[in-house]
Structure 1
C-alpha cells in the first residue's frame, strides 16, 4: 500500500514509475524539487523511501536538491539509510534461498543497490550531518538499524559520530546501547 501523495510526480517516484516521472520533469523542470503538500516530501525523497535507484539517479542528473527537507526535517539521505527490506523482498529471499542460493544473491543485490543510492546522494552533496526533528542524523539511523555496510560510507563522508539527538544520544551511544562492538569500534575510529 504505502503512502499517497497529492503531487503526481511524488506518487510516481514513490511507485517507481519512471515514465511518469520523466513526463512531469519534461513538462516542467521545476517539478524535480516540488514538495508534496501532505508531508513536504520531494520526488527525490519519495524515490529514496523505496530505494528506487533509477529514478533517484535521473532526478539528481536533473538537478534535484538533495538537501531539501520534508516536514520531519529529513533529507533523502535519512530515508535511503532507513530503507529496509519489504515484506515482499523477504518473502522472495526465503522462497528462493534453497534454489541455488538465489535468495542470498537477491539479498546481496538489494543491499548493494542501497549502498549505491547512499553513495550517489553523498556524491550529490547531501549534508551528511543534517539532523531531523528528533536530532537524528543518517548515522544515528544507520547505527539504530545495525547497518554495517552504510556506516563506513557515512564516516568516509565525514559523518560526525558525536552529534547528539534531542534525547542526548550520539551514534556511538546507540552502538554501545545495542551492544554492537564492530560498529562501536568503527565509530571510535571515525570520531
Structure 2
C-alpha cells in the first residue's frame, strides 16, 4: 500500500497545476507573498516541478521513478520551506533502496531542517530505521550534529532504547561527552545493556547536572542494583561526590525506604560514611529523620560510623530519633551514643531533655536506663 503523502504536498492535480503556473509567473518577474515569504524564512531554493515529482516518488517508494528524476542532479539538494531535502523525506519515510540511490547520486548528507534542526540521520534515528541509519553513517553522515531540542543522534537512540542504533553510532564516532550526558539518559531509562556499552567508551567522564547530581546520584534514585554495581565496578565515578545541596549518593540511599543499594555501597572501601551535606547532616541523620530502620541498622554496623555528629542546628541522630519517638531507633543509637545523650542542640536541649518534653514515658525511661548504665546522674 503506497504511503500517504505529507500534508504540504497533498494537492489535487488541478491545484498542482496552479502551483506550477505560479512558479512560471515568478520566473517571469512576478512573485506572490507566499513564495517570497518561504524564500525569506528558509533561504532555500523554491520547489520546482521536478523537485515536487521527486518528493512524490520518494513518498511512494517508487525506486525506478526516483532513479530517473535523479538524473537532474542540479535539483537533488533543493529544500522546501521546512528545510527538508529529498534525503530528509527519504530518511523519514522511504525504503533503504531509495536512500541508497540518493546517496549514490552524491546528495548532501548533513543538510539541516529549518524548524527542528534535524538532519536526515536524526530523522532516521527518530523513526528507528536501522538500515537507513547504517547507510547514512557508512556514507559519512555526521553523528554529532545537534537539533534545536539539543539532542544528537546518540542521545535520541538512547531515549528510544535502541541498543543496535547506539552501537552503530558509537562505531561511527558519536561523542559521549555531550550534554545531556548519554550515560544519564541511559540510567534514567534503566537500560543496563546501553549503560554497559557506554562505560566501555574512553571518552566517558564524570559530569554533573544542574543540581550537581552525578551518574551515581541518578543511579541511586533509580534503585536498580545491577545498574548501580555496573557504575561502581567501572571505577570512574566518585562515590562520595556531592550535589549542590551537599548530598552524596549515600544520603539519597539512606533516606529511601525502598532502596536496595545500601548493602552494595557499604562494601566500597573509599566510602565516607560520615559525609555531611550543606546542613551538616550525615546519611545517618537522613535515615533516622525518615525513620528508615533497616538503613539505620546497616549504617550502625559500619566501623567508622559516628552517631554523635551534630548538624548546623546542633542536632545529632539521637535528637531526631527522640523527636520521631521511634523507640526502636533510639535503642539502637544508645548502644553507640555513649555520652551523646548529653549533647545540646542550638536550642540548648539534649536528647534526654527532648524525651522528657515529649511526654513519652517509655522513651524517657529507656534513656534514663542508659544514663544509669553510664553511671551518670
Normalised to the residue count of structure 2, the TM-score between the two structures is 0.40
After superposition, residues 147-186 of structure 1 pair within 5 angstroms as 147-159=326-338, 160-186=340-366
Match for residue 94 of structure 1? none
How many angstroms does 1:29 deviate by?
5.7
For 2:361 and 2:334, the matched residues in 1 are separated by: 16
For 2:296 and 2:316, the matched residues in 1 are separated by: 14
Match for residue 95 of structure 1? none
Q: Report the secondary structure of 1:71's partner residue.
A: coil
For 1:80 and 1:52, the matched residues in 2 are separated by: 12
How many angstroms does 1:30 deviate by?
4.9
How many angstroms does 1:17 deviate by?
2.9
After superposition, residues 96-107 of structure 1 pair within 5 angstroms as none
For 2:318 and 2:285, the matched residues in 1 are separated by: 9
- Between the two proteins, the alignment pairs up a number of residues equal to 158
How many angstroms does 1:23 deviate by?
2.5
Q: Report the secondary structure of 2:278's partner residue.
A: coil
1:123 aligns with 2:301: yes
Normalised to the residue count of structure 1, the TM-score between the two structures is 0.76
How many angstroms does 1:45 deviate by?
0.9
Q: Which has the higher contact order (CA 8 A, sep 6+)?
A: 1
How many angstroms does 1:22 deviate by?
1.7
What stretches of structure 1 move > 6 A for 4+ residues in a row? none
How many angstroms does 1:166 deviate by?
0.7
Give structure 2 stretches of 5+ with no counterpart.
1-210, 372-377
Larger radius of gyration: 2
Match for residue 88 of structure 1? none
Q: Report the secondary structure of 1:157's partner residue.
A: helix
Query: In 1, are the aligned partners of 2:224 and 2:260 still within 8 Å (CA)?
Result: no
For 1:17 and 1:72, the matched residues in 2 are separated by: 28
Give structure 1 stretches of 5+ with no counterpart.
85-113
How many angstroms does 1:8 deviate by?
2.2
For 2:368 and 2:237, the matched residues in 1 are separated by: 42
**Aligned partner (choices 248, 251, 266) of residue 60 of structure 1:** 266
Query: In 2, are the aligned partners of 1:142 and 1:151 still within 8 Å (CA)?
Result: yes
Match for residue 286 of structure 2? 79
